[in-house]
Amino acid sequence: MNYIYLYLNLFTIFFPLVLSFDRRVHFYTNWRFLFPAMALSALCFITWDILFTQHGVWGFNPDYLVGIYVFNLPLEEVLFFVTVPYACVFIYECLNTYVRREWLQPLAPALTWFLILANLVVAVLFWGRWYTMLTCLLVPGLLLTYWGIFRYQKLGRFYLAYLVHLVPFLLVNGVLTALPVVWYNNAHNVGLRLYTIPAEDSMYSMLMFLLVILLYEVFKLKSRARVNKPVREFV
């Protein structure tokens, strides 16, 4: 029971890792793009996590941890930024392979601008509540960054993967916040919960998912550009 956070990390990555060798998806062939994307994403989120933990925005219950700490964060929390992005990109690529219809792409522009405006409104209304404010400022910033690079290309695919990821998200975060393994200081959020999960977690998860997808797609784009680069002939 004491190792519940570690077990949740293992549960999160077990099936995506095993199924990475699926004959159609061949997810393992994209590891060269995924791992650098995950590393950069983890660097950003671990830095954020360290600062918020130090300032009491959230914290961890030692009763459910193995007791190993990295940069004053539980080992399990560091692993979270490996297992979750891996699983998220795996969902994204599986849907790209097995779901051919563009269900949400026609709605991508409207969804994108709704998310940008809605998050900015919430950030202003709850200015000074650090979890709410920072998350709701960064989501629009990242969506605009994605739009600046790719416009709406594949955003429908991302939104579909995000919706599918909400199933394991609710399960894992539900356990983490119900026990709780992770506690939140309500002075820094709006106090609205989805069961026991802070409402901000849904946007935090979108932020983490979109960042790793953005970096992943950028690395894939650069790789294709290198392959297709014309060779200069010398006479």
111, amino acid identity: L
pLDDT (0 to 100) of residue 220: 96
Is residue 65 within 8 A of residue 74, CB to CB? The reply is yes
19, amino acid identity: L
pLDDT (0 to 100) of residue 230: 57
Q: Which residues have a Cβ under 8 Å from the Cβ of 11 and sit 6 or more positions away? A: 172
Asked whether the bond before 180 is cis by omega within 30 degrees of 0, the reply is yes
Is residue 223 within 8 A of residue 29, CB to CB? The reply is no
Which tokens belong to 134? 């920072």
pLDDT (0 to 100) of residue 228: 74
* Residuewise pLDDT in 10s, the chain (235 residues): 689 999 999 999 999 999 999 999 999 999 999 999 999 999 999 999 999 999 999 999 999 999 999 999 999 999 999 999 999 999 999 999 999 999 999 999 999 999 999 999 999 999 999 999 999 999 999 999 999 999 999 999 999 999 999 999 999 999 999 999 999 999 999 999 999 999 999 999 999 999 999 999 999 999 988 877 654 443 3
**Rounded CA gap, 82 and 59, in Å?**
19
What is the pTM (predicted TM-score) of this model? 0.94
